[in-house]
Structure 1
């Protein structure tokens, strides 16, 4: 397995982060985005990304010779928590999503240790989850409910 992330993974991972600090800043500043409130946009994007993170584990389980049922079961947890967070009142929606994204970056660190994904993916996941999770938490704690 390659030791360093492919350039496409770095570029697309960084591009996927753009809505987090951008929308978070708008929430904190109390500004709209072309007349649209940024809080629901940020919450929805956070929920979509959380579901994507669960999909990474599902894919790793599917590619594994063992295909452990526990990995499949754990992979649906982010989607379920994210969906529930969308029903939470502000600021708890963004706080829950931020905590979920941060925590899932740590939860997924068992995947490279078990050899199910390359080591670079574990490192990249920590960085991406850190930025996304902190942006969600910042908006959840510093933005207007």
Structure 2
């Protein structure tokens, strides 16, 4: 497995943080985005990304010769929590999503240890999940409701 992330993973991963940072800033500042409230936009984006993170584990399980059933079961947890968070009142909507993204960055660290994904992916996930999760938490608890 490659030791370093491919440039596309770095560029696309970094670009994926733009909506988190931009929308979180708008929520905190109490500003709109072209007349749209940024909080539900940020919540929706966070829920989509949380579901994507679960899909990463599903894909790793599918690619594994063992294909452990526990990995498939665990992979649906982010989608379910993210979906439920969309119905939570502020600040728990973004707070739940932020905690989920942060915790899932740690949960998935077993994937590189088990050899299911490259080590670079585990490191990249920690950075991306850290920034995204903190942006969600900041917007959730310091943003205008």
Q: Same fold (TM over 0.5)?
A: yes
Deviations 1:100-135 (A, max 9, x none): 000000000000000000000000000000000000
Q: Is the 8 A contact 1:91 1:144 kept in 2?
A: no
Partners of 1:62 and 1:21 in 2: CA distance: 32
Structure 1: segments with no counterpart, 5+ residues: none
Partners of 1:13 and 1:24 in 2: CA distance: 17
The aligned residue for residue 134 of structure 2 is 134
Deviations 1:79-115 (A, max 9, x none): 0000000000111100000000000000000000000
SS in 2 for 1:24: helix
Partners of 1:67 and 1:12 in 2: CA distance: 28
The aligned residue for residue 106 of structure 2 is 106
Partners of 2:27 and 2:56 in 1: CA distance: 29
CA RMSD across the alignment: 0.4
The aligned residue for residue 54 of structure 2 is 54
SS in 2 for 1:18: helix
Verify: 1:21 aligned to 2:21, yes or no.
yes
Question: Cα distance, 1:144 vs. partner?
Answer: 1.5
Question: Cα distance, 1:56 vs. partner?
Answer: 0.1
Residues 5-84 of structure 1 correspond to what in structure 2 (within 5 A)?
5-84=5-84
Question: Cα distance, 1:34 vs. partner?
Answer: 0.2
Structure 2: segments with no counterpart, 5+ residues: none
Partners of 1:79 and 1:52 in 2: CA distance: 8
**Aligned positions, number:** 145
